[in-house]
Structure 1
């Protein structure tokens, strides 16, 4: 079992400490590394934090677009990708993913209900499901909705691609420790 996660962001985040506290090695991957065709990393999972498409918080979106083919290969070859809310009103914020997804920005608490049984719903473990802070929802997507609001907005989406998985989440909280322990560890690392 190996536990190695790449956290994609412009600068170090406290999120990396949580990942490490859950038993995984966490490597910061900045936009320059991500967009460079010469940089290579090996990970079980990659995480794109909340706000990645909002230029007030990050310059990550152009690098994600430049790395789209590599991201697809990473997932197809068995990698796990967790992508949080774009953090702003950009419907094209997910155009770098290997499947269609449209995000609607709308910050506020939502009651969460699970639409299907999945180990990935552990992302919400320990939270009050009657009022989970979210920064939006996925109004259209090419995956399966795992969790939705009381009004039917998709809040957690899963899409299997090749041997890997992509999760989209609009939760505006850290994922649970239980989830991170499982998501960050696997039988092997995948080349990015």
Structure 2
């Protein structure tokens, strides 16, 4: 049984991270989203660089599947989205307001509110690298940089949630387990 779907079009180091933590992960191409061929899963992860054509070609398939992503989350799935790695980006395919501006920096992150998703980073007092920030959002800001720019937001929707982050670090094992354990199997 696959627990996590990783949306990408070629092998990634990210896959190994899930396997190291005992979480069954399957990589899928974005063109297969919304088809009957994809099994239900608990979590969908869209890695850093999804909108950058130098890294991948998955963006058109993602942007065509707004309704599939919304249904997946409303039915209890967790959708984790990392940065697009382009100068500016509007996540119009997400059922939330979210806009990104690219700006690579290192900062000591600031907890804006207490939230379970903050386990993304093992040491919340350490400096982290990020590749941009959210210039607009209607999600709950859980991490920001030292200038107050949102770096991680969470939006509860139906029985699931959308977690978006610009933090350019591998997520902790605790976070990977949390996104899997707090979700229900849902069809993408």
TM-score (norm 1): 0.92
C-alpha separation in 1, matches of 2:175 and 2:139: 20
Unaligned runs of 5+ in 1: none
C-alpha separation in 2, matches of 1:186 and 1:158: 14
Q: Is the contact made by 2:74 and 2:159 (CA closer than 8 Å) also made in structure 1?
A: yes
Q: CA deviation at 1:91?
A: 2.4
Q: Is the contact made by 1:125 and 1:176 (CA closer than 8 Å) also made in structure 2?
A: yes
2:65 to 53, 67, 79: 67
Q: Is the contact made by 2:152 and 2:166 (CA closer than 8 Å) also made in structure 1?
A: yes
Kindly indicate whether residue 178 of structure 2 is the aligned counterpart of residue 179 of structure 1. Answer: no
Report the equivalent of 1:97: 94
Report the equivalent of 2:160: 164
C-alpha separation in 2, matches of 1:86 and 1:48: 9
Q: CA deviation at 1:107?
A: 1.1
Unaligned runs of 5+ in 2: none
SS in 2 for 1:136: strand
Q: Is the contact made by 2:72 and 2:187 (CA closer than 8 Å) also made in structure 1?
A: yes
Report the equivalent of 2:31: 32
C-alpha separation in 1, matches of 2:65 and 2:143: 28
SS in 2 for 1:91: strand
Over residues 147-189 of structure 1, what are the superposed CA-to-partner deviations in whole Å (9 max), with x where a residue is unaligned? 1011101001000011100000001111011111121235741
Taking only aligned residues, the RMSD between alpha carbons, in angstroms, comes to 1.6
C-alpha separation in 1, matches of 2:103 and 2:171: 19
Report the equivalent of 1:4: 3
Matched pairs, number = 188
Report the equivalent of 2:83: 85
Report the equivalent of 1:51: 49
Q: CA deviation at 1:41?
A: 2.2
Q: CA deviation at 1:121?
A: 0.1
C-alpha separation in 1, matches of 2:22 and 2:110: 29
Report the equivalent of 1:136: 132
Q: Is the contact made by 1:126 and 1:176 (CA closer than 8 Å) also made in structure 2?
A: no
